[in-house]
Structure 1
């Protein structure tokens, strides 16, 4: 992520986030009152509904918090490394340890969640994250920093799978799509609005103080989920799986998840569209956006960071709008195709205005549209996965999905970097070549467009 905590535009964007987040919580409160206050509901049913909404909010907060902890290294790791006299290359290596364990463990936690339930899985993983924060708070060598980063990645990757699994098991199909939009909007807001608060906390409490607080909060949420695991929908099912976990069962579950995906062409198409579109926007948002904007405008780094932040703004607000849209159109193939076409068109707009050397305003607007339509499409994809996947295998399928996203992300980021190196940078400014960006992301758009084309070969995305 490329954000800066000392420029005004980011504060304005964050203020907009706060209004949207407040509205979403008000909407959730209305939904809660609507379905917990009907006079024909018994007291027991009303209490059950109240608990369902409470735990949904708790899981969503856990997802937001996992994103906050995930990006904490962006703010805290550089000054920590500087205080220990660690080189920049070593900082990059230590930071990357997080993403290796984060990406690989998606499948592990997805399979575990199908067996043990969302409560226990998320609780255990957050306790691991709390231990990682405690290690980082006392870290004074590259080894301890590396261990802390690796454990952080392992502990934070389950939150998304668990909140999606709990929501699918607890709420009706009519409500699920909107709730997926809320999950993505609130959860991803942690990657945007947290930079400035973390920076301020770092100045006030120091590195050890910040990591201690982050660890304590993670420990509290994780422990509370373990205590409340008796409310897990999986434990309330009559056909719950009592067999213990083992390596052979873990491998068998992964194979079954892969067979389910490959055996259903509509599900495979949904997975491919989500993987390619997510890896595409993440490659832009998380790696090249700022430098590409600098190449296009020749502007300063702070102004380029402010402009790039609008991509993230779209990524947050898109799922919120997508939740309302998908709630009305459900598994409509036509609506899904239109969403994906809008994603592709918004990408083409971004590349066109970049090629033409447009200013910050037009780049920011096109970046916002790219993030917005991508985020809205993700809600449709999430809703379709719930409809097309047997409930017993939801966690495993989501885990495999995230593993594929991470794999494609690595390929896309490495591939764009490789292509940029083929073209000489500007000798005066040192900026990368605009031609390199156009070719690199042009190839990505062809891959993404092919996955969207497969939608036309599918009859329906409804269960």
Structure 2
């Protein structure tokens, strides 16, 4: 078959795929917003519900627990039900959860709302990647994955200073009601615009990827056989643990404990402390397309950029733990948080590495498996750091909120440093695919 027959009107395909991508990313942006929002409203939550650090960590991590549990099921849904239906339903559940969270009369309702938010968001990333696998070429996937994570970083930016300003103006409850309404609108838009593959739009485009050697129609037996193949593949696990290392530690700082640390240790108002966390999200935003471009176009490698970014990321945590006795000079803090986000962007290669090391028709299951690592790690680490801080708490309360000593934060961040070292080891074991689909011998 000629290229002309395979790709009719390439410009139409390009326009349509970016419209679909934008619709998916609008939903994903709201989901990423929810991941780090507790950092900014931590003081409000602790004051309203009189919580300890461990309980606040558990509340924040409830999002990550359900997210991590849902990643393999999300991959199965992507390969069976299809991304369009799955993502639209996820957006509706996310909106309902946001409403429950915003109106919560007690901590139990907060947990329920946060759980529903995590459940709705949990299906978006893997299913969006599944759509991209069908609409984009293999040699574009590193960049696309970087751009997706960039959108996530924008969500993190919006959940920092902008949320702090909005919450100060109208209160945290009304802020989340507005966010829930936006989620509903974006879910409807996704249903109208998104199509799972070019053939659904009458576009005979083949990217030479996922349909090669695989059947897109799955029985229950074939789904579980696919899960077994992915889990037994040794090349699945280095990206899994690399993503766990990168993402869990970043979420521990940017997603929860960064704002309280900066506010309490440097004596800054909540809104000003959020600016430093926002710079971390900005670093992630800029780093994601950089690492994707380096991997796809400059180095044409996966392992090398992963290793370089992992090593540099460990260096940033070392600075935060040891410079100034665990309290770097305020003038340097913008640099520290920026480079924390920038070098953490290496994790964006994790899903691509897993996809390329597994059979193409199992792309959804493979990416879902790896995605579990980062969110399971974030769930566990946020609670663990809360408990560490509670162990160091000396009973001091400021404005109805527990004030933790520097020694507590230093112990918590030293734990993050140890976890980040796992990422360096994992990066050295990643299968080098040279940016091509590689079906590992299993």
TM-score by length of 2: 0.76
- Counterpart of 2:96 in structure 1 is 131
1:58 aligns with 2:23: yes
CA distance in 2, matches of 1:443, 1:207: 34
Cα deviation, residue 207, structure 1: 6.7
- Counterpart of 2:152 in structure 1 is 187
Query: Which residue of 261, 273, 294 maps to 2:242?
Result: 273
Cα deviation, residue 161, structure 1: 1.4
CA distance in 1, matches of 2:50, 2:390: 24
Q: Unaligned stretches of 5+ in structure 1?
A: 1-38
Cα 1:325/1:415, change in 2 over 3 Å: same
Cα deviation, residue 64, structure 1: 0.7
TM-score by length of 1: 0.73
Cα 1:134/1:394, change in 2 over 3 Å: same
- Counterpart of 2:126 in structure 1 is 161
Greater relative contact order (Cα < 8 A, sep 6+):
2
1:141-182 CA-partner distances (Å, limit 9, x unpaired) = 666554433222211122221222211221112222222221
- Counterpart of 2:217 in structure 1 is 241
1:222 aligns with 2:187: yes
Cα deviation, residue 372, structure 1: 0.8
CA distance in 1, matches of 2:396, 2:98: 43
Aligned partners of 1:419 and 1:439 also within 8 Å: no
Aligned partners of 2:102 and 2:172 also within 8 Å: yes
Shifted more, 326-335 versus 153-162: the winner is: 326-335
Cα 1:233/1:400, change in 2 over 3 Å: farther
CA distance in 2, matches of 1:281, 1:52: 31
- Counterpart of 2:306 in structure 1 is 336
1:249-276 CA-partner distances (Å, limit 9, x unpaired) = 6xx74663353244243x3222222222
- Counterpart of 1:314 in structure 2 is 283
CA distance in 1, matches of 2:17, 2:237: 31
Shifted more, 364-373 versus 122-131: the winner is: 364-373
CA distance in 2, matches of 1:181, 1:68: 17
- Counterpart of 1:447 in structure 2 is 422
Cα deviation, residue 215, structure 1: 3.3
1:299 aligns with 2:280: no
Cα deviation, residue 389, structure 1: 2.8
**How many equivalent residue pairs?**
411
**What are the equivalent positions in structure 2 for 1:383-402 lying under 5 Å apart?**
383-402=352-371
- Counterpart of 1:14 in structure 2 is none
Shifted more, 225-234 versus 180-189: the winner is: 225-234
CA distance in 2, matches of 1:204, 1:304: 17
Aligned partners of 1:61 and 1:187 also within 8 Å: no
CA distance in 1, matches of 2:348, 2:279: 20
1:323 aligns with 2:329: no
Shifted more, 338-347 versus 393-402: the winner is: 338-347
CA distance in 2, matches of 1:316, 1:189: 7
Aligned partners of 1:65 and 1:190 also within 8 Å: yes
CA distance in 2, matches of 1:211, 1:364: 28
1:113-146 CA-partner distances (Å, limit 9, x unpaired) = 1212221110111122233344456655666554
> How much is the aligned-residue C-alpha RMSD, in angstroms?
4.0
Aligned partners of 1:133 and 1:214 also within 8 Å: yes
1:188-246 CA-partner distances (Å, limit 9, x unpaired) = 21122244444555567677765554334322332333344555458687943164xxx
CA distance in 1, matches of 2:51, 2:110: 14
Cα deviation, residue 55, structure 1: 0.3
CA distance in 2, matches of 1:172, 1:240: 18
- Counterpart of 1:368 in structure 2 is 338
Query: Which residue of 431, 445, 449 maps to 2:405?
Result: 431
Q: Unaligned stretches of 5+ in structure 2?
A: 202-210, 398-402
- Counterpart of 1:16 in structure 2 is none
Cα 1:204/1:343, change in 2 over 3 Å: closer
Higher helix share: 1
CA distance in 1, matches of 2:87, 2:199: 14
Cα deviation, residue 325, structure 1: 1.3
1:272-298 CA-partner distances (Å, limit 9, x unpaired) = 222222222222333443555578xx5
CA distance in 2, matches of 1:227, 1:102: 25
Aligned partners of 2:392 and 2:404 also within 8 Å: no
Cα deviation, residue 300, structure 1: 0.8
CA distance in 1, matches of 2:386, 2:46: 25
Cα 1:209/1:341, change in 2 over 3 Å: closer
- Counterpart of 2:51 in structure 1 is 88
